[in-house]
């Protein structure tokens, strides 16, 4: 994995999660979709980035695109609900997210999908997570990011202006309501010289 220039401030902080609700803001996207943003949820994220880069069995991903199977330019690893996560702070993150969102979500976060964007050439194209209950029912996808700030882009399905949300080092972004049905999201390529980013997406059982 290419070097990540962590901040000196971050190196002095220990790896820990702060309360989810502190500084959490919700944005109504319309069409029943919303976005929660909690900047700086995780402190000391350099350590997590380095650890995950080293221990996770990263795999290249291939996806059906129209009539062909194409390489997705990023590396991934999926942990289902029975597997222990590759760092205890991620088990704690899942517990905290479940405790915070359970009254609204009606169930716990279960699985964790990890994605490694090695540099600005890595990306994921516009899509919604529409496998499972998210195809026709509201759900939530909670994303913790470490490493380079690669904004999460969203755009309404069927046309309309897109928006970009910062998903920086230690930030939490939660897509909720109808967001997987009424919006698509993407991590777009950038020509900027950016280092690696790892995202950890927590989902409920069966949703991909």
Ligand X SMILES: O=C(O)CCC(=O)C(=O)O
Determine if 142 is a binding residue for ligand X (CB under 6 A).
no
- Please, which residue, 14 or 204, has the CB nearer to ligand X? 204
SS3 153: strand
In 3-state terms, what secondary structure has residue 190? coil
Output the smallest distance, CB 8 to ligand X, in A. 26
Which pair of structure tokens corresponds to residue 16?
Answer: 């820990």
CB atoms within 10 A of CB 70: 12
CB of 184 to ligand X, least distance (A): 9
Among 36, 122, 129, 138, binds ligand X (CB under 6 A): 129
148: which DSSP letter?
A: S
Q: Which of 94, 100, 181, 185 binds ligand X (CB under 6 A)?
A: 185
| Other Cβ atoms within 10 Å of 2 Cβ, number | 11
Minimum Å distance from CB 199 to ligand X? 3
Contact mark string toward ligand X, 63..92, x via CB under 6 A: ------------------------------
- Within the chain, residue ranges assigned H as helices are 8-12, 45-55, 88-105, 179-182
Residue 200 pairs with which residues in a beta bridge?
Answer: 114, 144
Q: Which residues bind ligand X (CB under 6 A)?
A: 113, 115, 124, 129, 143, 152, 167, 185, 187, 199, 201
């Amino acid at each position: 994995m290419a070097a990540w220039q962590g901040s000196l401030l971050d190196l002095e902080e220990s790896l820990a999660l702060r309360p989810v609700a502190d500084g959490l803001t919700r944005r109504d996207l319309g069409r029943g979709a919303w976005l929660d943003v909690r900047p700086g949820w995780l402190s000391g994220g350099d350590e997590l980035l380095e650890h995950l880069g080293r221990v996770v069995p990263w795999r290249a991903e291939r996806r059906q695109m129209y009539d062909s199977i194409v390489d997705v330019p990023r590396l991934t690893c999926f942990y289902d609900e029975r597997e222990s996560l590759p760092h205890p702070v991620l088990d704690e993150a899942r517990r905290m997210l479940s405790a915070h969102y359970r009254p609204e979500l009606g169930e716990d976060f279960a699985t964790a999908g990890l994605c490694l964007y090695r540099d600005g050439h890595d990306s994921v194209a516009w899509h919604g997570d529409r496998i499972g209950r998210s195809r026709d029912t509201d759900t939530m996808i909670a994303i913790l990011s470490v490493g380079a700030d690669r904004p999460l882009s969203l755009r309404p399905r069927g046309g309309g202006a897109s928006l970009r949300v910062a998903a920086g080092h230690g930030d939490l972004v939660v897509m909720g309501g109808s967001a997987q049905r009424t919006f698509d999201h993407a991590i777009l390529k950038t020509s900027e010289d950016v280092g690696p980013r790892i995202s950890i997406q927590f989902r409920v059982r069966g949703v991909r």
